Amino acid sequence: MVSIQVWTPEGAGNVSATIQEEINSKVVDRINSYSDSASISANPDAKSSVKAAYDVFAGNYHGFKKQFPDSPGCWEVEVTGDTVMVTSRMLLYQFDHYSFTGGAHPNSFRSYHIFDLETGTEKEAKSFVTDSTALLRKVEAAFRREEKLDEKVDLEESGYFLADHQFFVPANYAFTRKGVFFYYNPYEIAAYARGPISFTIPYSELKGIVNEDLIF
pLDDT given for residue 17 in this prediction: 94
Of 171 and 9, the structure prediction assigns the larger pLDDT to 171
pLDDT given for residue 13 in this prediction: 86
Q: Do 91 and 65 fall within a single domain? A: yes
pLDDT given for residue 10 in this prediction: 81
Q: Do 111 and 136 fall within a single domain? A: no
Q: Do 62 and 107 fall within a single domain? A: yes
Residue-number span of the structural domain to which 65 is assigned: 2-123
* Last residue in a domain, options 72, 103, 123: 123
* Last residue in a domain, options 102, 123, 144: 123
pLDDT digits (tens, 9 = 90+) for 190-200: 999 999 999 99
pLDDT given for residue 64 in this prediction: 86
Q: What CATH number is given to the structural domain containing 175?
A: 3.90.640.20
Query: 49-84 burial, b for 16+ CB within 10 Å, e for fewer?
Result: bbebbbbbbeebbeeeeeeeeeeeeebebbbebeee
pLDDT digits (tens, 9 = 90+) for 28-85: 999 999 888 898 999 999 999 999 999 999 998 888 888 888 887 789 999 999 999 9
Number of compact structural domains in the chain: 2
Q: Do 113 and 8 fall within a single domain? A: yes
